[in-house]
Structure 1
Amino acid sequence: MCLNLEEIKTKKKLTFIGLGLGQIISLLCTCNVFTSSELARKGINVPTTQSFLTYTLLAIVYGGIMLYKRPTIKGKWYHYFFLALADVEGNFLVVKANQYTSMTSVMLLDCWAIPCVLVLTWVFLKTRYRLMKISGVVVCILGVIMVVFSDVHAGSRPGGSNPVKGDILVVAGATLYAVSNTTEEFLVKNANTVELMTFMGFFGAIISAIQICIFERGELRAIDWSAESAFLFLRFAVSMFLFYSLLPVLLKTSGSAMFTLSLLTSDMWAVLIRIFAYHEKVDWLYYLAFATTAIGLIIYSVKEKDEEDQEDEQRKLLDEEGRVSPIATSTGES
């Protein structure tokens, strides 16, 4: 009986950790958006340069830890290379899309990452999603759709110079996000966080540097640098560093689908910042949308009875065999 109580407490603790970490990461993402907006208002539009600073910081900090500990490398270098490539280009495409289409379209089409993550984790990581989790996903998406309707209802839907091109860029970027999230979940469960962050930072910095030379060299020369601009770049790099550092913990406890769903609340955090920091008025539907998305995340986090029974049975088998089964590590979300 005591053992069952301890297991229940552990499961509830992991659920709360997953929900809490997801919202911290979502808030960091929102802060990064506001920092990018401040840079854009200053006429600074170099998204790849901002990413380069983050990847460089990851490579230096975690690379230093890795050199000190000198662990055995478990992952393949090309896995980390393709992870960094998908991450860099996903960020680049979505930021670029804002120049051509409306923010409302970006918010709605960015949800394309959710079904992509579900399919990729189901095919490659053998993660099984039952009715409860599918219902949670649907409720979360419903919350985002309500945000879109609230924008339209409030009349705050600016157009874009080329909406079709922008929408295509968002869908492509969201697909790359899904590939990046799924690959990162696989690597963090089969290698370790320090190794993952080191190589992701290393390859991400190299890819970003090449892209800067091709696309952003002229913009960098035209920037009128000031102490405030330098501070904004540093703030973006530090907040993104924290974002990437916390992400592996969430992936281990709850998986990439939970991470992708948690990012849906970043738009709601942006609304709260606008209300309390900038004293702006927003449509009442935003509050209902935030509550709906939060409920969807809670529904997704709840384990069904047959899932718990299956996990208990697997745990007993593992204890008897005295080894860790790869199936158990790939069903962290089921």
Structure 2
Amino acid sequence: MCEPKKTWKSRFAFLKDPKFLKVLFLGQLLSLCITGTNVTTTKLGNDYNFAAPTTQTFLVYACLALVYNSFAIYKRGIRGWLLQFWRRGIYYFILGLIDVEGNYFVVKSYQYTSLLSAMLLDCWSTPVCMILSFLFLKVRYKWVQYVGVFIALCGLGMLVGSDVMTDKNYAAADAVKGDLFCLLGATLYGFSNVGEEIMARKHPLYEVIGMFTFFATFINFVQLMILERSEFASFVNQGEAIAMVIVYTCCMFVLYSLAPVMFRLGSAVLYNLSLLTSDFYGLIFGLGLFGYKVTFLYPIAYVVIIIGIAIYHIFPAPEPAMGTFTKEVALKEKNDLFGVKPDDPEQGRRASSVMENVPERIPADDAKMKDETA
């Protein structure tokens, strides 16, 4: 029998779905974190002439690695933590390298290209995520998802247009170099986001965050010593600049901690769409800190971006073919890590004695169940 045709009322029923509201709220919280990093980076550049992206992100990776690896040792024991390195270390090393260089090239591009170009080119990470999700996660989008992405990007275009009207766009020192840096950084962001989504759907979040930031910390430190030794030396003597970096670190810590949760509840594409509103929040801070002016396009653009995110959900958001981190996946992942065979209950009990109690995962269609954040 043919399924009954859905009405438009049923199509928009998702607006009352707690899962959608949760994803929307989480996306805007992450967007506020991005705004915090942009504001502190702008203050560091304008007030302290500090432009050292590798130095700036070193503390972020170090704090994340310390916290989440400590938690992983607590949950899995030293043996389980070492097994993570042995079994999957190469993947996390690649993920950490991509993330470090993505951060470096995007921040570096602002020194060479115009603000207008950087904002537009940085959006390239969204279509990169869609392409990679199509190829590696086997996500098959419907036409409405493409429309939603297009509308959200139009909203960003309105924000950029408003910036041009208020003359916030500054001249480019080396437009070609800056644009290439920004495109490269945005592409690496796309690879990093999708790679992190793949790992988050297969392994606990404390492992994913802890492992890739562990490698990123050492990669970042080596790059800092090679490229930014002089900047680091001048930075440690400026107390106020250090305070700005601490605020930046706190924002990034929250961002990196919650982004994988967003990848499970939504996707890397939805994560990037949600971050498009950060320029609107940046205006609110910029009114007092940088003397920005409000134009009528800003609130309109914000609404357009939110509408684009909502339209992305009119049809059920596509689920990757690999599924997500369910209770069954968590149990299989635990057994695979410790080499436990399904038909060996005694060995399974011994492994469980050094493993975490795996919490229930929220089925995608049951919004009433408890959130899985492990």
Q: TM-score, normalised by structure 2?
A: 0.77
Counterpart position of 2:72: 66
Sort the Cα spacing of 1:260 and 1:58 in 2 relative to 1 into closer, same or farther, 3 A. same
Structure 1 residues 241-278: Cα deviation after superposition (integer angstroms, max 9, x where no partner):
11111111111000100001111111111012223666
Counterpart selection for 1:51 from 49, 57, 61 = 57
- 1:148 counterpart = 2:160: yes
Point out 4+ residue stretches in structure 1 off by more than 4 angstroms: 8-11, 71-75, 276-279
**Structure-2 change in CA distance of 1:194 and 1:10 (3 Å):** farther
Provide closer, same or farther for how the CA distance between residues 140 and 175 of structure 1 changes in structure 2, counting only shifts above 3 A.
same
1:300 is aligned to 312
* Unpaired stretches in structure 2, ≥5 consecutive residues: 1-12, 333-360, 365-374
Q: Distance in 2 between matches of 1:68 and 1:257?
A: 33
Aligned to 1:22: 27
Residue correspondence of structure 1 range 100-179 to structure 2 within 5 A: 100-179=112-191
Distance 1:248 1:157 in 2: 33
The Cα offsets for residues 220-254 of structure 1, whole Å up to 9 and x where unpaired, read as: 22336233222222211121111111111111000
Aligned mates of 2:129, 2:283 — CA distance in 1? 26
**CA–CA distance in structure 2, aligned partners of residues 172 and 28 of structure 1:** 23
Deviations 1:71-122 (A, max 9, x none): 6456611111111111110110011111111111000111111111101001
What is the distance in 2 between the residues matched to 1:135 and 1:9? 17
Deviations 1:283-313 (A, max 9, x none): 2212211111111111113334xx79x99xx
User: How far 1:205 sits from its partner (Å)?
Assistant: 0.3
More contact order relative to length (CA 8 Å, sep ≥ 6): 1
**TM-score using structure 1 length:** 0.86
Separation (CA, whole Å) in 1 of partners of 2:138 and 2:124: 20
| AA matched with 1:64 | S
Contact 2:236 2:242 in 1 (8 A): no
When structure 1 is superposed on structure 2, of 51-60 and 9-18 the one drifting more is 9-18
Measured after TM superposition, the shift of residue 217 of structure 1 is 0.4
Give the aligned residue type for 2:131.
Answer: V
Q: Is the 8 A contact 2:59 2:249 kept in 1?
A: yes
Matches within 5 A, 1:1-334: 12-40=17-45, 41-70=47-76, 72=80, 76-223=88-235, 225-275=237-287, 280-304=292-316
Q: Equivalent residue of 1:104, what SS?
A: helix
Mean Cα displacement is larger for which, 244-253 or 141-150? Answer: 141-150
Q: How many residues align?
A: 308
Question: Which has more radius of gyration?
Answer: 2
How far apart are residue 154 of structure 1 and its match?
2.5
Q: Note closer, same or farther for the CA distance 1:130–1:276 as it changes in structure 2 (3 Å cut).
A: farther
User: Offset at 1:152?
Assistant: 2.0
Partner AA of 1:19 in structure 2: L
In structure 2, distance between residues paired with 1:168 and 1:140: 24
List gaps (5 residues or longer) in structure 1. Answer: 1-7, 316-321
On the 8 A contact 2:14/2:313 being kept in 1, the answer is no
Shift of 1:159: 1.0
